[in-house]
A and B are shown apart, each in its own frame.
Chain A
């Protein structure tokens, strides 16, 4: 019962957080200097023209009124109309969101694979030069951000050894068989492995760039946790019962070292999602982040508002999911 109560409380606080972010975004976007309406009109437009357009976008009302209208509409799924693209914001955002989600999830998979490999190798060869080497790799991985990794990957796999595509999401072609925007998932479901391979060749570098800092973090923390559990009694018992060192690490130590790593992954995954903004730009990947930068450059208030809000919802949802998983997995909380 206590878990259920805690979960409800956590859910309510999530909704409050999203509401708070909505207010912050709304207010911030209203105090933007520079008139976006004036930028939409051709030179020589009269002030009457500006007033008419402002009325059309509701910018002539008071801030409080504007917020009430915006919130009411947002709850009904209407996030307004983009000023630069002149289309429905929700439609634009939902059209781009799948691309960003697929990229983030692929990056998470890469980070888990690399991080676990580093941690297990480091724990297995602890105290040897191999472990010292892994520590150096982790250290560099931690202190260099995804943006720089992306640029190095472009030089490496785009120029020196051009095996992957450096821009776009898919090779342009007229007859894409997709019904949704989840291209990668759908190409796998439809067994179109040629398209899946093309998508992966485009996504490989941005996903790897996003994953490297997280992989280094997982590698360091998980190795530390495994090494700590290796001194515990039950692990010693397993060892005296004749288990090999590999078996001890994989079957005994790893299982109990996972919990702190899980929390780290949850928190850092939200940073990874934030990182897609610049990485998508770098690889001209048509996702939400790339759209966000265009929206800032074009001063497209409704679009900025919509994108930031959607990102905020995703981030808080991930945090909520992590907390709930943690509560379910942690035996001390479960028994309570």
Chain B
């Protein structure tokens, strides 16, 4: 979709900066077992609450210090990225697929399809998301699958609304009429003609949604409603760091920075894509 002049234009810093960080996190998630200096679950009570490398009393192999049980903070952050990235991609992509499919159907077919889907979206929007999430976790139980299902169930409307409007716009364009005249079936028009024009919007939204998924997982791990406490998660580390904050601030601070940069990068990447795809701005 990017035209020649746009690709020659300098890449905006927020796109490459956020892309760089996300690349790093994905790299860490893929290679965590091989690049971690320590076993993230290995406890060493004699090496508890060691400060990061540049502070007095640190040990050289623990770059970012250790937590209350003597586990290496850096290795736990690297391993924690696996859950974050897994939830971001699985929940993000599923939400995107379902929301986009329903949005395209509503916008292109119109009529009762549109009426049913739009009414459903309205009902969904009336429910405050945090409460909805609590209710769903209470119903589905805790665990990774429950979190992913909860994110999909709550957030599909985000895609549906935007894509519906976009599909409605596109279906009024001349090229859709020419496709009809050329004898294309409705489904073929939808998939081969309209879908490629919706893809940029959906991709930008997907990046935003991945950031939301990461934060939802972190919050649920923080309140101990996510996966079992054995596997390191950023939210779980933050919860432990919150308790021992006056003794060892680094247990809270480093996973927090990782989470912050990841959430910020997903949203800035999405915003950057949105600007870049926007034909008016281009």
Binding site for B on A (CB under 8 A): 17, 20-21, 24-25, 28-29, 31-34, 139-140, 142-145, 147-148, 151-152, 154-155, 158-159, 166, 270-271, 273-275, 277-278, 281-282, 292-293, 296-297, 299, 304, 308, 311-312, 315-316
Asked if B58 CB lies within 8 Å of chain A CBs, one says: no
Query: Which residues in A have their C-beta under 8 angstroms from that of B267?
Result: 142-143
Task: Give the complex CA separation of A189 and B83 in angstroms.
Answer: 50
Which chain A residues border B134 with CB–CB below 8 Å? Answer: 277, 292-293, 296, 304, 308
Interface centre among A143, A154, A312, by most B CB within 10 Å? A143
Q: Is the CB of B259 within 8 A of A148?
A: yes
Query: Could you say which of B126, B135, B215, B242 contacts A282, with CB atoms under 8 Å apart?
Result: B242
CB distance from A263 to the nearest CB of B (A): 15
B137: Cβ under 8 A from any A Cβ: yes
Q: Which residues of B contact A315 (CB under 8 A)?
A: 128
- Cβ of A25: which chain B residues have Cβ within 8 Å of it? 135
Q: How far is the CB of B233 from chain A (nearest CB, A)?
A: 14
Which residues B131-163 have CB closer than 8 A to chain A?
131, 134-139, 141
- A315 vs B260: C-alpha distance in the bound complex, in angstroms? 29
Secondary structure of the B contact surface, majority rule: helix
A302 to B132, CA, bound (A): 16
Q: Which residue of B lies closest to A31 (CB)?
A: B139
Report if A155-B253 is in contact (Cβ < 8 Å); known contacts: A278-B219, A297-B224: yes
**Residues in chain B near residue A293, CB distance under 8 A:** 134, 223, 225
Beta-carbon nearest neighbor of A159 in chain B: B249
Q: Is B181 an interface residue (CB 8 A)?
A: no
CA distance A101 to B219 in the complex (A): 22
Task: For B140, give the chain A residue with the smallest CB separation.
Answer: A33
4 closest A-B pairs by CB: A143-B267, A274-B130, A274-B128, A296-B138
Instruction: For residue B62, give the distance in angstroms from its CB to the closest CB of chain A.
Output: 20
Asked whether A29 and B131 contact (CB < 8 A) given A151-B256, A158-B245, the answer is no
Cβ contact within 8 Å between A166 and B135: no
B280 at the A interface (CB under 8 A) = no
A304 CA to B128 CA in the complex, in Å?
A: 15
Residues in A whose Cβ lies below 8 Å from that of B135: 25, 28-29, 304, 308
Q: Chain B 62-98, CB within 8 Å of chain A: the 1/0 string? A: 0000000000000000000000000000000000000
CA distance A24 to B141 in the complex (A): 17
Residue B121 lies at the interface, judged by CB distance under 8 Å to chain A: no
Q: CA of A20 to CA of B136 in the docked complex: distance in angstroms?
A: 16
What would 21 A/B residue contacts be, using CB atoms closer than 8 Å? A21-B127, A28-B139, A32-B139, A33-B139, A143-B268, A144-B264, A147-B215, A147-B222, A148-B215, A148-B256, A151-B242, A154-B245, A155-B245, A155-B249, A155-B256, A278-B130, A292-B134, A296-B138, A296-B225, A297-B223, A312-B128
Chain A residue numbers with a CB within 8 Å of B271 are 139, 143
Closest to A267 in B: B125
**Residues B215 and A154 in contact, CB atoms below 8 Å apart:** no
Contact B268 A34 (CB under 8 A): no
The answer for the CA separation of A34 and B138 in the assembled complex, in Å, is 10
A296 CA to B141 CA in the complex, in Å? 9
User: Chain B contact residues (Cβ within 8 angstroms of A): what range?
Assistant: 35 or more
Question: In the complex, what residues of B have CB within 8 A of residue A148's CB?
Answer: 215, 256, 259-260, 263
The answer to whether B138 and A33 have CB atoms under 8 Å apart is: no
| Residue among A25, A142, A293 having the largest count of chain B Cβ atoms under 10 Å | A293
A275 and B141 contacting across the interface, CB-CB below 8 Å: no
Chain A residues lying within 8 Å of B10, measured Cβ to Cβ, are: none
- How distant is the Cα of A250 from the Cα of B115 in the complex, in angstroms? 44
Shortest beta-carbon distance from B222 to chain A in Å: 8
| Least CB distance, A10 to chain B, in whole angstroms | 13
Of the residues A21, A29, A140, contact of B139 by C-beta under 8 Å: A29
Chain A residues closer than 8 Å to B131, beta-carbon distance: 274, 277, 292, 308, 311-312
User: Is there an interface contact between B211 and A143, defined as CB atoms closer than 8 Å?
Assistant: yes
Q: Which of chain B's residues have a CB closer than 8 A to the CB of A21? A: 126-127
Asked if B245 and A159 make an inter-chain contact with CB atoms under 8 angstroms apart, the answer reads yes
Is B172 interfacial (CB 8 A cutoff)? no
Q: Give the nearest-CB partner of A294 in chain B.
A: B223
Q: Once the chains bind, are B223 and A275 in contact (CB under 8 Å)? A: no
> In the complex, are the beta carbons of A271 and B264 less than 8 A apart?
no
B149 to chain A, nearest CB (A): 13
User: CA–CA, A144 to B225, complex, Å?
Assistant: 22
Are A270 and B128 closer than 8 Å at their CB atoms?
Answer: yes
Q: Does B238 contact A (CB under 8 A)?
A: yes
Partner of A145, one of B123, B128, B263: B263
- Which residue from chain A places its CB closest to the CB of B126 in the assembled complex? A17
Report the bound CA distance from A31 to B138 in whole Å: 10
